[in-house]
Amino acid sequence: MTKYIANIEPLNEEKIGTKAHGIATFEEDGDKLHIHVEMFDTPANIEHWEHFHGFPDGTKAHVPTKKEDVNHDGFIDLPETAAVSGTTMVPLDDAPEDMNIPHDGYPVADEKGYYEYEIDVQLTKLQAKFKEAFGSDDLQLDKRVVYVHGVPADLELPSSVAGDVMSYDAHTTLPIAAGEIKLMH
């Protein structure tokens, strides 16, 4: 078994009013990838998109810092993460192996901003879909960053905050926490 872990730290916390944090683990065991995410202090009672992001060429992805706020609006929005974190790769949703990013199959936080996500994924199916999308079946988890997204629809965001994905606006895609995935053993 190979285990990976990401300590997920707050992003944009000064602007959104919560310090979302948690932990994600990925365990490869034969043809099974067990994914577990536990999050605390996320915006309550809303769905939170979560994914791992990375670079298709295998470059190590990193968590963004204030310097990625290139338009200086005080928010690190989804497009601004691309320079250090790459692209959205695999959703941590109800069917990661389908790699269907924009949809409503993600965890919903309770009234305290807590949620737990746990799923077993058939590794060969995910790797085949990953190869179709990115040209390689190697997930390279230790070079990826886990992101958690989503703020309430009534939170006022400046028009400079970008991140619309299909019919979903920046309230859905704004990053609220991120953590680099590290190999444990």
Residue tagged 């690190």 (tokens):
76
Q: What is the pLDDT of residue 163?
A: 85
Query: Is there a contact between 147 and 50 (Cβ–Cβ < 8 Å)?
Result: yes
For residue 21 the two structure tokens come to 């944090």
Query: Is there a contact between 11 and 178 (Cβ–Cβ < 8 Å)?
Result: yes
- Which residue from 12, 26, 6 is spatially nearest to 118, judged by alpha carbons? 26
Buried residues in 34-60 as b, exposed as e (16+ CB within 10 A): ebbbebbbbbeebbbbbbbbbbeeeee
Q: What is the pLDDT of residue 174?
A: 96
- What does the alpha-carbon distance between residue 170 and residue 149 come to, in Å, rounded to a whole number? 9
Segments of the chain with pLDDT less than 70: 185
Q: What is the pLDDT of residue 165?
A: 83
Query: Is there a contact between 114 and 21 (Cβ–Cβ < 8 Å)?
Result: no
Q: What is the pLDDT of residue 164?
A: 80
Tally of structural domains, the chain: 1
Give me the amino acid identity at 75: F
Structural domain range at position 124: 2-183
SS3 60: coil
Instruction: Please write the tens of the pLDDT for every residue from 64-82.
Output: 999 999 999 999 999 999 9
Q: Are strands 2-10 and 32-40 parallel, antiparallel or unpaired?
A: unpaired
Kindly state the greatest CA–CA separation across the chain. Answer: 46
Using a pLDDT cut of 70, give the percent of the chain over it.
99
Residue tagged 């670079």 (tokens):
55
CB-CB neighbours of 103 under 10 Å: 14
CATH code of residue 46: 2.60.40.200
CB-CB neighbours of 141 under 10 Å: 21
Q: What is the pLDDT of residue 72?
A: 95
